[in-house]
Amino acid sequence: MNPFTCTLTPENYNTACDLAGSALLRRLPVASTILQITEDRAWNEFSTGVYIAADFENVIRYTGSAIRDGSVGDRVQEHVLSGRAAQWTRLMVVPLVADTEEDLVRTIEGRIGAVLRPLDTKRLPTLGRPRWPAARRTAR
């Protein structure tokens, strides 16, 4: 495993929740599958949040955020339909208070991505400008 990769552990999930600060709605320390999210609507109650996706080896592949009239699960469904979620087997959500400002949601997504270093995230929103995730760095 690449020394710069992170896995989806309870500790890493708690760190992600801590990075949400006062915008955190509550901790939901249970991983879900794509089917639980898209078919069983496990995340139906959350309209705003940051989601973290891991593969079969539990390596974090992607972080993203959603602010919508529907649910965060609807955003995950969009990834499924586009084929971008093919390697995702476990997902966790950091649910945020529904009226969290979009800029703050994106900042929280950037903070979480910078710490968890998802392999497949191309750019992270951070403090007003996108940046490459730390996972893109190579060891010397």
Q: How far apart are the first and last CA of the chain?
A: 16
3-state secondary structure of 52: strand
Q: What is the mean pLDDT of residues 30-55?
A: 96
- Residue 96 structure tokens: 């945020």
| CATH number for the domain formed by residue range(s) 10-123 | 3.40.1440.10
The C-alpha atoms of residue 114 and residue 133 are separated, in whole angstroms, by 6
Q: What is the mean pLDDT of residues 34-53?
A: 96
| Average model confidence (pLDDT) across the chain | 89
126 — pLDDT class (breaks 50, 70, 90)? low
H-helix or E-strand containing 95?
A: strand 90-95
The C-alpha atoms of residue 4 and residue 121 are separated, in whole angstroms, by 14
pLDDT given for residue 125 in this prediction: 81
Question: Pick from 78, 76, 81: which is nearest to 33 by CA?
Answer: 76
The C-alpha atoms of residue 99 and residue 58 are separated, in whole angstroms, by 31
The structural domains of the chain, with segments of one domain joined by +, span: 10-123
* Residue 128 clears pLDDT 70, i.e. is over it: no
Other beta carbons within 10 Å of 45: 13
pLDDT given for residue 100 in this prediction: 97
pTM of the model: 0.86
